Structure 1
Amino acid sequence: MVSPLHSNGRAELRDEKIVTSIGDLAPRPDLRPELLLRLSGKLQTTLELQQLLEIFFDEIQQAILVDGITFHHANNGLHISQGKQSQHSVHYRLQTQGDYMGDLNFHRSTRFREHELANIEGLLTTLVYPVRNALRYHSALAAAFRDPLTGAGNRAALDRTLVREIELSKRHQHALSLLMIDLDWFKQINDKHGHSCGDKVLQQTVECISSCIRQTDMSFRYGGEEFIIVLSGASASGALRIAERIRISIEALRLQGSQGDIQLSASLGCVTLHGDDDKDSLLHRADEALYAAKSGGRNRVICETDLHSELPPAKAD
């Protein structure tokens, strides 16, 4: 089902209507059956949403000239563009059996006529179910790289992300920083209040971290009570500000355990990418900075520039 909404004010589509099949359209689309058959077949060849929209954009040019299309799905954080955005546009909401599947905009330098809108809606009937399948594949893939308890990325996701972000940082010569976070005395929380309470602490910690970082930053559960934050485009000073914000926010959390209030704190190591770094060396330096923070008394942020300071030996958790 395709629901066309109002345009940006320049295209001529203003009314609200639901398109359930080609036969319901008025005016009827002027589309060759072989075009629809070929398009339907090609859309079945991939579950990658980017490739799916590339195929759709290329194939529909035989029926209607379109400068570009943009797809947006806020819940999944997806925004995909093909071609270019122009002066006129028309907006469709993709939906089937109550399942929202995103919003699709068509862009062109000239106005869309009514018979062209009918053709677009006819073409969209071939796209709805492939998009639904691609979104389900995307969700399943995302779940495979997500920690089931906290919702943060897991180790596999961290490895993939770090390799990609390091490559992009070196290619485009922009900064990349990493925070390694460890909850202080977490074993005592589990021992005193139980593992169920410890799980809630971890969940609250991730929520706290998410509220402190930017939309472009990514959080991962590194293991146990340790977390990694990848800060794309963040210099050492910018990463330090974010790290302090996280530390203060975690310290301000007030949680109720089975044996009374729980006072949390966290130690953080903060490092920035060097030209000769790879994934392992960056993680190793972050771990050294975190060790220094814990050795220095916990509930603090240590950057790699602080590592030469004299610090007392670490206490065991």
Structure 2
Amino acid sequence: MVSPLHSNGGAELQDDKVITSFGDLAARPDIRPELLLKLSGKLQTTLELSQLMEIFFNEIQNAVLVDGISYSHTASNLLMSIGRTSVHTASYRLQSHKDYMGDINFHRSTRFREHELANLEGLLTTLVYPVRNALRYHEALAAAFRDPLTGASNRVALDKTLNREIELSKRHGQELSILMLDLDHFKLVNDEFGHSMGDKVLKEAALCMANCIRQTDMCFRYGGEEFLIMLSNAESAGALRIAERIRQSIAALKFDSEKGPLQITASIGCATMSLDDSMETLVQRADKSLYQAKHLGRNRVIADTDDIGQITGKSHVR
């Protein structure tokens, strides 16, 4: 179904793929069948959403002149635009009987006429199912890089992402820091409260981390009760502030169980990238700082630049 949001026309994709107007007086699409056939064929050649939108934008110019298009799917955190935005916009929602597939906007410097809106709606019917397939492909890829229990990214995603971000940070002269976090005495949680409680603790702790970091940062489940948090464009002092916020947030969690209340803490090691760092050396320094945090009594934040002999409190933030 192609539903108009801010335009005057309307069209519906029936099961037999026949376009019908919502109103008898509404303009009808005037599109050559060979154009629809060609467009439909080209849209079947990719599952990449950005490529799909580029093909659609280029091909529809033969039927309706458009300066640019923008597409969004909030649930998948997808937002893209092609061409340029202009004064006049026609907006539509893409939806099948079961699936919402996002919103698409057409931009032009002159007002869209009724017959042009009808043509856009006719063209959009070729886009609905390719977009649905592309979204499912995107969701499948995202699931492959996500830990099913906590929702954090997994080790496969970490290897791809951190290597890339280190290279980009060096190229553009930007700071990059990572945090290695371990939940303290987590084995006792599983042993004394059960694995279902352990799973609940992991999920709530991961949610704390996600709520404490910025949209540009990423949280990865490194293994077991250990997490790695990548902080883009963050110097050591900023990374330590975020680490302390995470530590306090996790320490504030409270869990009720048949065996009584449960509270947990976390130890965090912080390392900031230097120009000669690789992913391995950066992770090793953060891991060493984490080891120091646990050695000094847990429930604290330690940076790789800290003078361990001068640390007496439960956390150290510059």
The alignment's TM-score, normalised by the length of structure 1, stands at 0.91
Q: Is the 8 A contact 1:177 1:236 kept in 2?
A: yes
Alignment-derived partner of residue 315 in structure 1: none
Matching of residues 16-35 of structure 1 within 5 Å? 17-20=10-13, 23-25=19-21, 26-35=26-35
Provide the rounded CA distance (Å) in 2 between the counterparts of 1:170 and 1:155. 22
Q: How many residues align?
A: 305
Look up the equivalent residue of 2:176 and give its one-letter code.
L
Please say if 1:165 is aligned against 2:200. Answer: no
Tell me which amino acid in the other structure corresponds to 2:97: Q
The alignment status of 1:58 with 2:58, answered yes or no, reads yes
Change (3 A) 1:90 1:172: farther
Cα separation, 2, equivalents of 1:196 and 1:250? 18
Measure, in 2, the Cα distance between the counterparts of 1:40 and 1:30: 16
CA distance in 2, matches of 1:153, 1:23: 42
In the aligned structure 2, how far is the partner of 1:307 from the partner of 1:52? 54
Query: Which residue in 2 is equivalent to 1:186?
Result: 186
Q: Does 1:145 align with 2:149?
A: no
- 1:165-314 matches, within 5 Å, as 165-306=165-306, 309=309
* Amino acid in the other structure paired with 1:77: N
What is the one-letter code of the residue matched to 1:52? Answer: L
Point out 4+ residue stretches in structure 1 off by more than 4 angstroms. Answer: none
For structure 1, which runs of at least 5 residues remain unmatched after alignment?
7-12, 313-317
What percent of counterpart residues are identical?
A: 65
Q: Is the 8 A contact 1:292 1:311 kept in 2?
A: no
8 Å Cα contact 1:182/1:227 also seen in 2:
yes
Task: Extract unaligned runs of 5+ from structure 2.
Answer: 313-318
Aligned to 2:255, what secondary structure does the other structure show? strand
The equivalent of 1:111 in structure 2 is 111
Give 3-state SS (helix, strand or coil) of 1:253's partner: coil
* Partner residue in 1 for 2:91: 91
Matched-pair contact (CA < 8 Å) for 2:222–2:228: yes
Whole-Å separation in 2 of the counterparts to 1:226 and 1:206: 10
Deviation readout 1:10-38 (Å, 9 max, x if unpaired): xxx246x4522553143122222221111
2 CA distance for matches of 1:107 and 1:179?
43
Once residues 50 and 39 of structure 2 are traced to their aligned partners in structure 1, the CA distance between those partners, rounded to angstroms, is 16
Deviates more, 1:257-266 or 1:247-256: 257-266
Matched residues in 2 for 1:233 and 1:190: separation?
36
Instruction: Note the aligned Cα RMSD (angstroms).
Output: 1.7
Q: CA deviation at 1:216?
A: 1.9
Query: CA contact under 8 A between 1:71 and 1:79: conserved in structure 2?
Result: yes
Distance in structure 1 (CA, Å) of the matches to 2:18 and 2:273: 55
Query: Residues of 2 paired with 1:235 and 1:18: CA distance?
Result: 53
Per the alignment, residue 315 of structure 2 pairs with none
Contact conserved, 2:182 with 2:268, CA < 8 A, in 1? Answer: yes
Q: CA deviation at 1:118?
A: 1.0
What is the one-letter code of the residue matched to 1:199? D
Letter in 1 for 2:112: F
**SS across alignment from 1:214:** coil
Distance in 1 separating the partners of 2:18 and 2:114: 15
1:28-65 deviations in whole A, cap 9, x for unaligned? 22222221111111110111111111111111112211
Further displaced range: 50-59 or 163-172: 163-172
Give me the whole-angstrom Cα distance separating, in 2, the residues matched to 1:90 and 1:303.
Answer: 52
